């Protein structure tokens, strides 16, 4: 007999119906559908709820840690948030603001279209990043950010 789960999942009838709707509709992300299936199978009142994490993981083709994490998320977010536990987590980044606004992007394009610095045949991403810092457009910037910004513009430096 499998070891009892650390986090017990008990779904209300409305939660069970909502999760069942998510699973049957097929119009949600694969991750949300998988998490909904885990919650349905982990429900103590469900016919399959007597199986442990390993059995559920094997049936759904996921890792047992995933099953345990879904159980934990459901338990920590309260009984009233069954479908919310199946939803994707939001990012925890402190700031997702872009490094370059429209004015800074225009400066970057202008620098890119200007003649290359002395001793260089053309602008490199590193040279452009250093130039933006030197001009105090930004405090710091990576050459990858410069590359991505130039890639989305339609201007051509005319090499």
SS3 letters for the chain?
CCCCCCCCECCCHHHHHHHHHHHHHCCCCHHHHHHHHHHHHHECCCCCCCCCHHHHHHHHCCCHHHHHHHHHHHHHCCHHHHHHHHCCCCCCCCCCCCCCCHHHHHHHHHHHHCCCCCCCCCCCHHHHHHHHHHCCCCCCCCHHHHHHHHHHCCCCCCC
Residue 4 in any domain: the answer is no
Residue 158 in any domain: the answer is no
55 with 113, same domain: the answer is no
The predicted-structure confidence for 15-66, as pLDDT tens digits, reads as follows 888 888 888 887 888 888 898 888 888 887 766 666 788 888 998 899 999 9
Residue 145 in any domain: the answer is yes
The arithmetic mean of pLDDT across residues 70-78, rounded, is 79
Q: Cα(63)–Cα(30) distance, rounded to whole angstroms?
A: 15
Residue 1 in any domain: the answer is no
Residue 4 has pLDDT above 90, yes or no: no
Q: What percent of the chain has pLDDT over 70?
A: 79
113 with 77, same domain: the answer is no
- Give the CA-trace dihedral at 28, 30, 35, 38, to 10 degrees: 120
The predicted-structure confidence for 108-143, as pLDDT tens digits, reads as follows 999 999 999 999 999 999 999 999 999 999 999 999
Angle between helix axes 30-42 and 13-25 (nearest 10 degrees) is 140
112 with 61, same domain: the answer is no
The token pair that represents 39 in the structure block:
């919650």
Q: Cα(29)–Cα(12) distance, rounded to whole angstroms?
A: 23
Q: Cβ atoms within 10 A of the Cβ of 145, count? A: 18
Among 31, 56, 86, residue at a domain's last position: 86
Q: Which structural domain range is residue 138 located in?
A: 102-152
State residue 86's pLDDT score.
54
The answer to whether the pTM exceeds 0.75 is no
Residue 57 in any domain: the answer is yes
The arithmetic mean of pLDDT across residues 65-85, rounded, is 72
82 with 125, same domain: the answer is no
Give the number of domains in the chain: 2
């Amino acid at each position: 007999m499998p070891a009892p789960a650390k986090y017990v999942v008990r779904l209300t009838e409305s939660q069970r119906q909502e999760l069942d709707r998510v699973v049957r509709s097929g119009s949600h992300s694969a991750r949300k559908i998988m998490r909904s299936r885990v919650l349905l199978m982990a429900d103590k009142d469900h016919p399959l709820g007597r199986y442990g994490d390993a059995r559920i993981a094997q049936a759904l083709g996921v890792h047992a840690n995933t099953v345990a994490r879904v159980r934990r998320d459901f338990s920590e977010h309260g009984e009233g948030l069954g479908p919310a536990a199946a939803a994707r987590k939001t990012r925890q980044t402190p700031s997702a603001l872009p490094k370059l606004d429209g004015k800074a992007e225009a400066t970057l394009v202008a620098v890119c279209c200007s003649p290359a610095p002395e001793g260089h045949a053309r602008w490199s991403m590193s040279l452009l990043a250093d130039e933006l810092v030197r001009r105090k457009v930004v405090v710091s910037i990576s050459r990858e950010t410069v590359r991505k910004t130039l890639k989305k513009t339609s201007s051509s430096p005319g090499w």
